Structure 1
């Protein structure tokens, strides 16, 4: 039924629950699991120094990409530890909801599994703004995990 499952992750508790659900679904269907962490461009004034790793990186975008790569990689590693043979990690720069949908299209995902709310700012009352937008924009099924 599902050959490729995409799970966007941001390190939040709800994205971790979505990851566990996606892992179980991928195991059940023998699907490939793609973990994706989207980071947004920040000007030097907006960049959070708390995201910078101990080694000094040249630009804030480099720090954000490294941070996003770590989050996606940790999610992939968890999937592999749970017995999933085909799991891959990606970090992508862009506006989160559009980047997730474009990534799903580019990688021919059959399903997007995402948390109801993430670490982003408050945007929706029942769903987070990213999950709401993804479910509105995606042309494939989306499973929103609470």
Structure 2
């Protein structure tokens, strides 16, 4: 059913759960997982999953990108540990919702599997969550994981 699945990962617990669901689907179908990370400026300090430390509010762009490389690398490792053999990674830039949508279209994915909330929870309440924007605009199936 899904031969190609895009999974945005931001280091949050919701993204980790979404990756787990995507891995289950990918194993059943022999799908390719496309892991996407978009480094963001956060309005608060946070600790990322996969054993990566906190990202300070005042972190430089380079520090965020280095943390992003660790996030996507650890996510790819986690996918392989869960039995997925075809894993591709990409680091994007820009508005998360738009970047996810354009990457999904560019890669022609059958589905996007993403967490219902990410690291920028507070902003989501004010301007609408990334998952909400993606699910209402994507041309493919979107599975939102809580």
TM bracket (short chain): 0.7 to 0.9
TM-score, normalising length from structure 1? Answer: 0.82
What is the CA distance between 1:90 and its match in structure 2?
Answer: 1.6
> Which secondary structure does the structure 2 equivalent of 1:93 belong to?
coil
Q: Distance in 2 between matches of 1:16 and 1:40?
A: 17
Tell me the equivalent position of 2:49: none
1:68-95 Cα deviation digits (max 9, x unpaired)? 1211111111111122110122211111
Tell me the equivalent position of 1:135: 135
What is the CA distance between 1:121 and its match in structure 2?
Answer: 3.6
Q: Distance in 1 between matches of 2:14 and 2:41?
A: 23
> Which secondary structure does the structure 2 equivalent of 1:76 belong to?
helix
CA contact (8 A) 1:69 1:90 kept: no
Runs ≥4 residues deviating over 6 A:
none
Matched pairs, number: 134
Could you say which structure has the larger radius of gyration?
1
5 Å-filtered alignment, 1:112-131, equals 112-122=112-122, 123-124=124-125, 129-131=129-131
Q: Distance in 1 between matches of 2:125 and 2:41?
A: 22
5 Å-filtered alignment, 1:18-29, equals 18-29=18-29
Query: Gaps spanning 5+ residues in structure 2: where?
Result: 46-53
Q: Distance in 2 between matches of 1:107 and 1:33?
A: 11
Q: Distance in 1 between matches of 2:78 and 2:35?
A: 11
5 Å-filtered alignment, 1:60-139, equals 60-122=60-122, 123-124=124-125, 129-139=129-139
The alignment yields a C-alpha RMSD, in angstroms, of 2.3
Query: Gaps spanning 5+ residues in structure 1: where?
Result: 53-58
What is the CA distance between 1:60 and its match in structure 2?
Answer: 2.5
